[in-house]
Amino acid sequence: MSPDDWDLLYQLTAIVGLTIITVVTRAFFMIPKNELPLPDWLKRGLKYAPLAALMAVIAPELLMVKGELTDTLLDARIPAVICATIYYFKKRGILGTIVVGMAVYLPLHIGLGW
């Protein structure tokens, strides 16, 4: 076998292996026929998983620029988040929250160059 054939075999093996790992880990809770018993502490903790995942995505986007912490308050994202958060807690509407956030963000970012 030529070196190119070995590279192709290695790549195919990696693809198949990663596919198997992905399917098994994602389908882990669907494989058994009966529901898996979970301890109460784990059930309580899983309630916070979506919030934790959302914060893991949003916090770096708000607080960092090009991989470093924002060192100025003249960033259009900060007032936009504050206004959107206030709107959400007063009205509890998702669409309005997005509209308010963008209505504050766009003029500051495009108009003032923040």
- CA-to-CA distance for 89 and 49, rounded, in angstroms? 21
Domain total in the chain: 1
Residue 31 has pLDDT above 80, yes or no: no
Q: Does some domain include residue 19?
A: yes
Q: Which residues pair with 30 in a beta bridge?
A: none
Cβ burial 91-108 (10 Å sphere, 16+ → b, else e) = eeeeeebeebbeebbeeb
Range of the domain at 13: 1-37
Q: Does some domain include residue 15?
A: yes
Q: Does some domain include residue 81?
A: no
Q: Does some domain include residue 98?
A: no
Q: Does some domain include residue 91?
A: no
User: Span 29-50, mean pLDDT?
Assistant: 85
Q: Are 36 and 29 in contact (CB under 8 A)?
A: yes
Tell which wins on pLDDT, 52 or 67.
52
Residue 30 has pLDDT above 80, yes or no: no
Q: Does some domain include residue 97?
A: no
> In this predicted model, what pLDDT tens digit does every residue of 58-106 receive, in sequence order?
888 888 888 888 877 788 888 999 999 999 999 988 999 999 999 999 9
Entry pTM: 0.56
Average pLDDT, the chain: 89
* Distance, first Cα to last Cα, the chain: 58
- CA-to-CA distance for 2 and 66, rounded, in angstroms? 43
Q: Are 114 and 74 in contact (CB under 8 A)?
A: yes
Q: Does some domain include residue 21?
A: yes
Task: Give the highest mean pLDDT range of 1-10, 48-57, 70-79.
Answer: 48-57
